[in-house]
Structure 1
């Protein structure tokens, strides 16, 4: 049986993770569209790294919690995909779009973990 106190401790991290992953996903969808319009905006990998670091902190907290293995696997794979995408962008200066899959995985993993708190 899961300890409800631990679930209460990870709930803020799930909310932060969902919010951060959603903002990151919006950033990753909107910025490339805005670069088409001649506003002089460019996509900067520093912003991606900022969101990824927030995600890494949140994922590490959840990995140390009593979250289900499914949630841990989803979040680990998602954060890995995000960092690989950022490293590919830095190395080749090409947006491969992998970060979108990582962001969606982060949102799904956090939502599943958040919903599991209600059932325990």
Structure 2
């Protein structure tokens, strides 16, 4: 039962990171079109909060490598979001953080499959 719960947090983390990455890659293109879209860093904050929840649930049960990847990636994401909220300065660190989150969750999921 624990493996199923942990893998569901992996799926939550993978899907949240993937949606965030798609949002970060596609949204600048949408702002060029005259559709009235405005970038809202609250959406990024929502994705980061979901990812942070998944990381806290996974970190105690995973390897040091995966924990390190997830912590560094989440730190990059939070630095980028907070700099945008407070300084209105968009950093591209969020893209690297999103890619790292996907890699970390996929590695963690694969480690669970190997241990079965």
RMSD across aligned C-alpha pairs, in angstroms? 1.0
Aligned length: 115
What TM-score do the two structures reach when normalised by structure 1? 0.91
**Structure 1: runs of 5+ lacking an equivalent:** none
Pairing 1:27–2:23 present: yes
Shift of 1:7: 3.0
Shift of 1:33: 1.1
What TM-score do the two structures reach when normalised by structure 2? 0.94
1:15-56 CA-to-partner distances (Å, cap 9, x unmatched) read: 111011000000011111111112110110000000000000
**1:1-120 paired onto structure 2 within 5 Å:** 6-65=2-61, 67-120=62-115
1:42-81 CA-to-partner distances (Å, cap 9, x unmatched) read: 110000000000000000001122x111000000111111
**Structure 2: runs of 5+ lacking an equivalent:** none
Counterpart-to-counterpart distance in 1, 2:10 and 2:37: 31
Counterpart-to-counterpart distance in 2, 1:102 and 1:112: 15
Shift of 1:101: 0.5
